Amino acid sequence: MRDGFVYFDLGNVLVKFDHAIGTRQLAELAGCSLAEAQLALYDSGLELRYEMGLLTSSEFVAAINGQLKVDLPADDVLEAMSAIFEPNSEILPAMKVIKASGVQIGLLSNTCEGHWEWVKRQAWETVEGWFDIVVLSYEAKLMKPDGAIYAHCEQRCGFKGSQVFFTDDRADNIAGAAARGWATYQYGEPNGLMAAFEQWRTATQ
């Protein structure tokens, strides 16, 4: 099947992550408490605004420094908050089957520039070399589950509604895609992904 398009989420689908690691690493870097690092990075809303593309990397780092009353180098701050990922290698066999089917593949992720650039530098097999289209919230200035980002993805890939298959670990993001008419699978494990993909492929042949 060559008609149709498959979008993958990044976090907890292609890579695993733990925000607590970023909080700890920032606290160690800044010489502050975990609570202060948590407030600056997440509870303040700075990381969310960064993911939404409302802050550049330099603006984000300046805001973190302001919150923590420090003057940390930008590269060190971005490394501390981004070195929280590891590849989800168990998904690779499913990705290879999907790619071999002839369907095009894209990435749709709520992420910030710091995280994305860090992940790209790792050259992990779960991320590198798969995607015909990459849609990132900080670039699009749109975020899942806002319906506008799914419309944007349709414009990018040239397919609509049930012609698009999407997997994401979060129920709200899956619901947003389903409301657009996309076929979806809330990611839990590779066998479930493959079963949902095969069902979609059969229905659209």
Question: What are 48-92's pLDDT values in tens digits?
Answer: 999 999 999 999 999 999 999 999 999 999 999 999 999 999 999
pLDDT at 199: 96
Residue 46 has pLDDT above 60, yes or no: yes
Q: Please, which pLDDT band fits residue 1 given cuts at 50, 70 and 90?
A: very low
Q: pLDDT of 97-108, one tens digit each?
A: 999 999 999 999
The pLDDT > 90 percentage for the chain reads 97
pLDDT at 85: 98
Q: pLDDT of 5-40, one tens digit each?
A: 999 999 999 999 999 999 999 999 999 999 999 999
According to DSSP, the residues that pair with 35 across neighbouring strands are none
Task: Please tell me the pTM assigned to this model.
Answer: 0.95
Q: Does domain 5-16+86-204 have CATH number 3.40.630.30?
A: no
pLDDT at 204: 79
Neighbours of 34 (CB within 10 A): 13
Q: Where are the domains of the chain?
A: 5-16+86-204, 19-82
Q: What is the dihedral of CA 170, 3, 15, 94, to 10 degrees?
A: 110
pLDDT at 64: 98
Q: What is the dihedral of CA 42, 59, 133, 10, to 10 degrees?
A: -20
Q: Please, which pLDDT band fits residue 201 given cuts at 50, 70 and 90?
A: very high
Angle CA 69–75–76, to nearest 5: 55
Closest by CA to 146, choosing from 177, 181, 111, is 177
The pLDDT > 70 percentage for the chain reads 99
CA separation for the pair 36, 172 (Å, rounded): 29
| Cis peptide bond prior to 93, omega within 30° of 0 | no
Q: Please, which pLDDT band fits residue 3 given cuts at 50, 70 and 90?
A: confident
